[in-house]
Amino acid sequence: MTDGVVVVGGGHAGAAAVAALRQEGFAGPIRLVTAEADLPYQRPPLSKAFLKDQGTEPQLIRPEAFYAAQGVDVELGATVTGIDRIDRTVTLADGRRLRYDGLTLATGARVRKPDVEGAGLAGIHYLRTTADARALRVALGQATSVVVIGGGFIGLEVAATAAALGKRVTVLEAGDRLMGRAVAPEISRHMLERHREAGIDVRLATSLGRFLGFRGQLVGVEPAGSTAPIEAELALVGIGVIANSELAQAAGLATDGGILVDSHMRTSDPTIVACGDGVVFDHWHAARRVRIESVQNATDQARHAAMALLGKPDPYRQVPWFWSDQGPTKLQMVGLSHGADRIVLRGRADDGRFSVFHFHRERLIAIDSVDRPADHMVGRRLLAAGTVLRPDQAADESVDLKALLSAG
Ligand SMILES: Cc1cc2nc3c(=O)[nH]c(=O)nc-3n(C[C@H](O)[C@H](O)[C@H](O)COP(=O)(O)OP(=O)(O)OC[C@H]3O[C@@H](n4cnc5c(N)ncnc54)[C@H](O)[C@@H]3O)c2cc1C
């Protein structure tokens, strides 16, 4: 490979991709081209510790010296605007063209924005990048009333942080429960109680109507179908993300709500692989097409993508896992619970530490844990090993899950 590998996107997947290429023995040129001004950094703290402390700096995934030591040429603030698959070149926004033998698309995702009246007012925030987080942190320091649109992970993490900082916080969630697409109803109920106890006014089945402003500045949020506005100096919108797949699509690669890859992270062009939040793939376990948003997924997929580019394809079969810190509570999810036909509880919801085991036709497919890290850790191993666990065993705390793992 004389022209080497170009990696587009410097998030968790892009950073892992360049490291994996070297770990797998690739000695040719590597270029990491990323639109952001920062070297790849950890996104999860942006909705957690970073917001609480004005002095905290973003944590780099790898120190700056890593890239020089590994011979990785990093282009910050550079956007790839086109891919020419015949010439094997990418075009940057400044007109330069970079040749590649292998291309890795790690373009991730961007925030979804609501198309409602007042959406352009100052005081409305989103959270994806360090720039977003810095602006939100400053605004949080000054605001007294905060409205969070969206009761998903990011919205609830920010809501919990804002409440801990003494702000008056309201959360609007369009669905009938919190984190409805991601966790079991028992967890949604439990977290609803925890957030309400922390003083957050959580309103379920309540959609955003419009933002209200005065002289260009946000002053309130009006729920849909309501004439009772909620006072808001600051709004944080956390209503999901959109995969950055337009670049791939324009180059004629297959997409389906994300860049479509096979089990080896190969796109429909054998010289181009893709990984992370921006890709969709047919999940071996869930037997459906998914797009997964997690650090684990981005990092693990990047390694498999690197192996495919280097002619050592190895199917991606890691069990997905994810976490969310909401105030003092830690949620940990492993597996994909979609399609579960039975759930059982281990531990008791009323003492605040429990796990929900999801089964499909008596087969364990996912575990959601609330402050039960041991269940999560053993769950990862149970799911990876495909260990048979019956629902009655999952519910029975006298059954030692680790012992089951060793037995079989
Ligand atoms: C606030 C926040 C909190 C989170 N908390 C958690 C958590 O607790 N646990 C967890 O597992 N996950 C969490 N996540 C999700 C996790 O951060 C993502 O799954 C992960 O960042 C995905 O990595 P990625 O590299 O695929 O995409 P991204 O991180 O989106 O990175 C993609 C990069 O590509 C760049 N790019 C895109 N297009 C181009 C182009 N054409 N040219 C050049 N560059 C381009 C983008 O600017 C971006 O820098 C959180 C995310 C956020 C935003």
Q: Does residue 261 belong to any structural domain of this protein?
A: yes
Q: Does residue 330 belong to any structural domain of this protein?
A: no
Under a CB-based contact definition with an 8 Å cutoff, are residues 72 and 18 in contact? Answer: yes
CA atoms within 13 A on the CB side of 342: 12
Cα of 31 vs centre of ligand 1, distance in Å, is 19
pLDDT per position as a tens digit, 178-232: 999 899 999 999 999 999 999 999 999 999 999 999 999 999 999 999 889 999 9
- 179 and 93 in a common domain: no
Chain centre to alpha carbon of residue 281: 16
Q: Kindly indicate the confidence band of residue 295, based on its pLDDT and cuts at 50, 70 and 90.
A: very high
CATH number, domain with residue 358? 3.30.390.30
- 120 and 47 in a common domain: no
- 176 and 257 in a common domain: no
State how far the Cα of 210 lies from the Cα of 374, in Å rounded to an integer: 43
**pLDDT at 227 (0 to 100):** 83
Q: Does residue 325 belong to any structural domain of this protein?
A: no
- 292 and 345 in a common domain: no
Q: Whose CA is nearest to atom 35 of ligand 1?
A: 9
Under a CB-based contact definition with an 8 Å cutoff, are residues 221 and 208 in contact? Answer: yes
Q: Does residue 391 belong to any structural domain of this protein?
A: yes
- 127 and 190 in a common domain: yes
pTM above 0.75, yes or no: yes
Cα of 93 vs centre of ligand 1, distance in Å, is 21
Q: Does residue 137 belong to any structural domain of this protein?
A: yes
Q: Does residue 205 belong to any structural domain of this protein?
A: yes
Q: How far is CA 22 from CA 72, 152, 247, in A?
A: 9, 36, 26
Give one DSSP letter per residue of 304-362, joined into a string: HHHHHHTT------PPPEEEEEETTEEEEEEE--TT--EEEEEEEGGGTEEEEEEEETT
Under a CB-based contact definition with an 8 Å cutoff, are residues 154 and 161 in contact? Answer: no
The amino acid occupying position 295 is V
- 235 and 120 in a common domain: yes
Helix (H) or strand (E) holding 52: helix 49-52
State how far the Cα of 304 lies from the Cα of 86, in Å rounded to an integer: 24
Which atom of ligand 1 is the closest one to the Cα of 321? Answer: 11
- 198 and 233 in a common domain: yes
Helix (H) or strand (E) holding 407: helix 401-407
Q: Which of 216, 239, 262 is the last residue of a domain?
A: 239
What are the beta bridge partners of residue 58? none
**pLDDT at 53 (0 to 100):** 86
- The answer to whether the CB of 10 is under 6 A from ligand 1 is yes
Cα of 237 vs centre of ligand 1, distance in Å, is 17
- 182 and 213 in a common domain: yes
Tokens at 345, concatenated: 């509880």
pLDDT per position as a tens digit, 122-135: 999 999 999 999 99
Q: Does residue 361 belong to any structural domain of this protein?
A: yes
- 104 and 250 in a common domain: yes
Residue with tokens 């959601």: 368
φ/ψ (deg, to 5) at 388? -80, 125
Domain span at 133: 113-239
- 95 and 12 in a common domain: yes
Residue 100 DSSP label: -
Q: Whose CA is nearest to atom 30 of ligand 1?
A: 108
Is 80 exceeded by the pLDDT of residue 285?
A: no
**Ligand 1 pocket: which of 107, 137, 242, 318 to mutate (most atoms within 8 A of CB):** 107
Angle between helices 295-309 and 12-23 (to 10 degrees): 40
Three-state secondary-structure class, residue 185: helix
**Ligand 1 pocket: which of 43, 62, 148, 280 to mutate (most atoms within 8 A of CB):** 43
Which atom of ligand 1 is the closest one to the Cα of 276? Answer: 26
Residue with tokens 């004389």: 2
Share above pLDDT 90 across residues of the chain, in percent, rounded to a whole number: 91
State how far the Cα of 197 lies from the Cα of 133, in Å rounded to an integer: 26
Which atom of ligand 1 is the closest one to the Cα of 47? Answer: 1
Cα of 81 vs centre of ligand 1, distance in Å, is 19
- 105 and 170 in a common domain: no
Q: Does residue 254 belong to any structural domain of this protein?
A: yes
Is 90 exceeded by the pLDDT of residue 330?
A: yes
Q: Kindly indicate the confidence band of residue 408, based on its pLDDT and cuts at 50, 70 and 90.
A: low
Q: How far is CA 201 from CA 171, 185, 288, in A?
A: 6, 19, 36
CATH number, domain with residue 18? 3.50.50.60
Count up the domains in the chain and report the number: 3
Three-state secondary-structure class, residue 214: strand
Q: Kindly indicate the confidence band of residue 397, based on its pLDDT and cuts at 50, 70 and 90.
A: very high
- 233 and 117 in a common domain: yes
